[in-house]
Structure 1
Amino acid sequence: MSFVLRAVAASDQGLVRSNNEDAVFVGERLLVVADGMGGLPAGELASDILVKAVAVVDDMPDSGEPLQDLVAALGTANQGIEEAVAADDARDGMGTTVTALLLTGDRVAALNVGDSRCYLLRDGTLTQLTRDDTYVQALVDQGVLTPDDARRHPQRALVTQAVQGGPFRPAGRMIPVRAQDRFLLCSDGLSDYVDDEVIATTLRSYADRQVCAAELIARTLEAGAPDNVTVIVADVEAIVADVEA
């Protein structure tokens, strides 16, 4: 059985920021969210460079090796960011997180660097597919903090790696898909301020993807939205082949 992704994106600069450093791409097989860092305008530039480099994968033939394709595209993005920094000292330190989802046959590849996340809602249960590259996540892994403590920690936004022209180690995994699976990709503007249970309830409550994405943004605004927030809501649908009589 073959599958297709039906997806929509929504983004908001939030109630505090004067610009939006997030970038997003929704393609036929590929979904990408990037959260730039480094200040105006460097963060916007970094996320834009990354999304444009990775978006090329959507037009490539399906190689059957989606993780390798994504990693190669991230390498191109990383080189582009390195060159942009070399061209202007004011861009020193700029970089971007990324979370990406690529459909191949009956599986998706989920890949991330930094703290932008990918979730799966299946049969009403929400699962976080990516692990944050953050200082507080390392403390959670060590048993120093609970997940609830991490959400309130003053250094929760401190990432331990990003795509910024230097070495990085993306994390990736393959996930078999089913019809009616729902994926959420988001920047930390959502996940840092809206509890997972609220996210899960919202994903379950709104079948219309556009409405659901808008409601997720609304939950962030209700929480004060001190950061940019970007979401992609994507549903998996089965392709039924025509059978000749």
Structure 2
Amino acid sequence: MNVAIRYAAGSDIGCNRDNNEDSGYAGARLIAVADGMGGYAGGEVASSTVIGSLRSLDTDVRKDDLVEMLGRAVAEANEKLRIVREERPDLSRMGTTLTAMLWSGDSVALAHVGDSRGYMLRDGELYQMTQDHTMDELLKAEAEQAGQQADPSETSRLSHVLYRVLDGRDDREPDLRLRDAQLGDRYLLCSDGLSGPVDAQEIYEVLSAEADPQRAVDRLIELAREHGGPDNITAVIADVVEAEHITGPTTPLIVGAAANV
């Protein structure tokens, strides 16, 4: 069966920020979200550099090469950040998260670093595909391996501290995996400006109720703003459909800081 993705994307500055450090991309074979950090301008440069670097992946890729190609592209994007940091000492603290998916038919590679998230809605159930690279999650995992429970006060304090991002330094390896996509799947990639204020139940309800991907993106962003919009908000949705049933945009969508480059 010839499958394809129907996609949508949106980004919003939120209610409390002066600039948008998020970037997002949605195309026929690639979707991605990057949440930049590092002070004014730094986050914008980091997220837009990474998204701009990954854009060349939005082309035909053999299924057997998906994971290797995506992993290599992330490494190349991180190298571009290193070059920018060397050229711009004022951006030495910049970095970005990245969650990206690269398709070939019904196979998809997923790359993840940081705390932007990937969700999948399948057969009426919502699954979180990614694990946040935050210190609280690391402490919880270490405690679980030791048969203990992490200190709640400590994990709460560290809930927004990232231990892995793309920042141009060595050994910034993403989580990489190959997944099988199915007709009817709906995928959401988002920055924590969405997944923070909007809980999983609300995300599930919007993804389940709103058939049109762009309206679903817009509603999720609206919900994040209704909940205070404390951070920049970016969402990308991809629906897996039969290729002959594709409707909506046929050219790539670029949102957030990367749209201004």
Same fold (TM over 0.5): yes
Q: What SS does structure 2 have at the residue aligned with 1:18?
A: coil
Matches of 1:15 and 1:136, distance apart in 2: 26
Matches of 2:112 and 2:101, distance apart in 1: 9
- The residue that corresponds to 1:159 in the other structure is 162
Equivalent position to 2:212, from 208, 221, 233: 208
- The residue that corresponds to 2:101 in the other structure is 101
Q: In 2 relative to 1, CA 11–145 (structure 1 residues): closer, same or farther, beyond 3 Å?
A: farther
- The residue that corresponds to 1:89 in the other structure is 89
RMSD: 1.8
Matches of 2:118 and 2:165, distance apart in 1: 16
Equivalent position to 1:229, from 226, 229, 233: 233
Matches of 1:222 and 1:155, distance apart in 2: 25
Matches of 1:196 and 1:54, distance apart in 2: 28
CA contact (8 A) 2:71 2:176 kept: no
Q: In 2 relative to 1, CA 200–140 (structure 1 residues): closer, same or farther, beyond 3 Å?
A: farther
Q: In 2 relative to 1, CA 240–91 (structure 1 residues): closer, same or farther, beyond 3 Å?
A: closer
Give the superposition deviation at 1:104: 1.2
- Most deviating of 42-51 and 61-70: 61-70
1:54 maps to 2:54 = yes
Give the superposition deviation at 1:2: 2.1
- The residue that corresponds to 2:185 in the other structure is 181
What is the CA deviation profile of residues 154-196 of structure 1, one whole-angstrom value per residue up to 9, with x for unaligned ones?
Answer: 4322111111011212102222111111000001111122111
CA contact (8 A) 2:3 2:106 kept: yes
Report % sequence identity: 37
Give the superposition deviation at 1:145: 5.1
Matches of 1:224 and 1:81, distance apart in 2: 31
Matches of 1:26 and 1:155, distance apart in 2: 31
Matches of 1:204 and 1:48, distance apart in 2: 30
Matches of 2:212 and 2:157, distance apart in 1: 35
- The residue that corresponds to 2:79 in the other structure is 79
TM-score by length of 1: 0.92
Matches of 2:103 and 2:67, distance apart in 1: 10
Matches of 1:29 and 1:47, distance apart in 2: 20
Matches of 1:83 and 1:204, distance apart in 2: 43
CA contact (8 A) 2:32 2:98 kept: yes
- The residue that corresponds to 1:63 in the other structure is 62
Matches of 1:47 and 1:7, distance apart in 2: 20
- The residue that corresponds to 1:130 in the other structure is 130
Matches of 2:191 and 2:9, distance apart in 1: 12
Matches of 2:68 and 2:224, distance apart in 1: 34
Higher relative contact order, structure no. (Cα contacts within 8 Å, ≥ 6 residues apart): 2
Matches of 1:128 and 1:162, distance apart in 2: 19
- After TM superposition, the runs of 4+ consecutive aligned structure 1 residues lying more than 4 A away are none
Give the superposition deviation at 1:239: 3.0
Give the superposition deviation at 1:140: 2.9
Matches of 1:2 and 1:131, distance apart in 2: 31
Letter in 2 for 1:195: D
Letter in 1 for 2:45: L
